[in-house]
Amino acid sequence: QLEGDPGLRPPSETSVRTALARLLSESAAPLECVSGEAQKLWLPLHAKSGAAGRPKSAGWVEVSVELVPAEVAEAFPAGAGRAEPNEMPKLPPPTGRVRWSFNPLRNMYYILGPKLCAKFGCAACLTISLVVFVVLLVQMVPVLAANLVTELLLAPCG
């Protein structure tokens, strides 16, 4: 029975019942054996909960089923033994995986993400600019004041 929590829906417009009915109904049109076209459906996942072992909804998984001719299946076996099963179709590596590094800035980028890192970078540049301006101002004010006093004292003499 493919029933799930009514409040939990897969991120697809196709419901489980509709997809299964479409795939399993006898009046449905036969599936095309075209390479690259797969039938997709969402199936609920259940986990045992508590000592009674009652099933508890644990999310959804999207399953893709593709029918291929026997010649194609024999020509492209899916991971025989320890071979790579990611062959047909060849899928890219998963996104969103964190690659830890000894560089703390790279780790911060992976943790915070590009937008927040850009904001922190702009804030750091602005802070450094402000500190440099204040340091130069503190260094220059006494010199400018001394020059002004010297000009005022020497002006009546000259």
Q: How far apart are CA 151 and CA 158, in angstroms?
A: 10
Q: What integer pLDDT is reported at residue 70 of this predicted model?
A: 82
Tens-digit pLDDT string for the chain (158 aa): 344 444 445 544 445 556 556 656 655 555 444 555 677 777 788 888 777 777 787 888 877 777 777 887 787 776 665 666 666 667 777 777 777 889 998 888 888 889 999 999 999 999 999 999 999 999 999 999 999 999 888 877 76
Q: What integer pLDDT is reported at residue 94 of this predicted model?
A: 74
Q: What integer pLDDT is reported at residue 26 of this predicted model?
A: 56
Q: What integer pLDDT is reported at residue 13 of this predicted model?
A: 44
Cβ neighbourhood burial of 14 (10 Å; 0-12, 13-18, 19+): middle
Q: What integer pLDDT is reported at residue 108 of this predicted model?
A: 87
Rg of the chain over all Cα atoms, to the nearest angstrom? 34
Q: What integer pLDDT is reported at residue 102 of this predicted model?
A: 92
Q: What integer pLDDT is reported at residue 57 of this predicted model?
A: 79
Residue at token pair 């000894």: 102
Residue at token pair 């800035």: 105
Q: What integer pLDDT is reported at residue 58 of this predicted model?
A: 81
Q: What integer pLDDT is reported at residue 33 of this predicted model?
A: 45
Q: What integer pLDDT is reported at residue 2 of this predicted model?
A: 41
Cβ pair 4, 47 in contact under 8 A: no
Compute φ and ψ for 39, nearest 5 degrees.
-90, 130
Structure tokens at 103: 């560089």
Would you say how long the chain is, in residues? 158
User: Nearest-CA neighbor of 78 among 33, 43, 68?
Assistant: 68
Q: Which three-class secondary structure state does DSSP give residue 17?
A: helix
Compute φ and ψ for 63, nearest 5 degrees.
-110, 135
